[in-house]
């Protein structure tokens, strides 16, 4: 369970983490600068388990893996969006950041308390007592995310 942090459509990787911070490679350090140009208070107020909720094409722009690392470093449970840019989606799977596609993100407001229910394929909005269907992620991709990313998954499979 966590609260929703609401963003719009076409959230660019340059907005998630500015280019000047690409010299940092530790997720927790990058997290201190996530969204700092559009939500300067985000990094200080986001809590482990919270959710980033957005519209269409989240993670568009450059293919910087740092954007995913910065979000992962915040401790959020997942990014929930109507759709994701292809390279961002791939980077998120590879690094173990949970992404959830849901066409009903417009119904979620800033601060709503949310819970993910993968078993039933839905987001539960505890604040509004509503449920929203999610697009199921293939089981093998969920497994990669659950073990922390592609490298951990390959290590697990190679044992």
Number of separate domains in the chain = 1
CATH code of the domain in which 100 resides = 3.20.19.10
What is the C-alpha separation between 19 and 23, in angstroms, rounded?
Answer: 8
User: Terminal CA-to-CA distance of the chain, rounded, Å?
Assistant: 34
Q: What is the span of the domain harbouring residue 94?
A: 2-158
Whole-number pLDDT of residue 119: 87
Paired residues of 133 in beta bridges? 122
50-102 pLDDT, tens per residue? 999 999 999 999 888 999 999 999 999 999 999 999 999 999 999 999 999 99
pLDDT at 13 over 90: yes
What is the C-alpha separation between 133 and 110, in angstroms, rounded?
Answer: 19
What is the C-alpha separation between 137 and 135, in angstroms, rounded?
Answer: 6
Radius of gyration of the chain measured on its C-alpha atoms: 15
Total-model pTM: 0.95
Paired residues of 79 in beta bridges? 52, 99
């Amino acid at each position: 369970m966590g609260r929703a942090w609401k963003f719009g459509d076409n959230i660019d990787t340059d907005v998630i983490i500015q280019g000047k911070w690409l010299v940092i490679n530790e997720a927790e350090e990058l997290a201190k600068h996530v969204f700092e140009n559009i939500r300067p208070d985000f990094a200080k107020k986001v809590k482990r388990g919270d959710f980033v909720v957005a519209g269409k094409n989240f993670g568009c722009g450059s293919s910087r893996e740092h954007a995913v690392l910065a979000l992962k470093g915040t401790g959020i449970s997942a990014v929930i969006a109507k759709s994701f840019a292809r390279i961002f989606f791939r980077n998120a799977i590879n690094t173990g950041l949970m992404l959830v596609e849901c066409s009903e993100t417009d119904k979620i407001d800033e601060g709503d308390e949310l819970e993910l229910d993968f078993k039933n394929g839905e987001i539960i909005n505890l604040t509004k007592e509503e449920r929203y269907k999610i697009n199921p992620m293939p089981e093998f991709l969920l497994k990669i995310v659950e073990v922390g990313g592609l490298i951990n998954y390959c290590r697990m499979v190679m044992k």
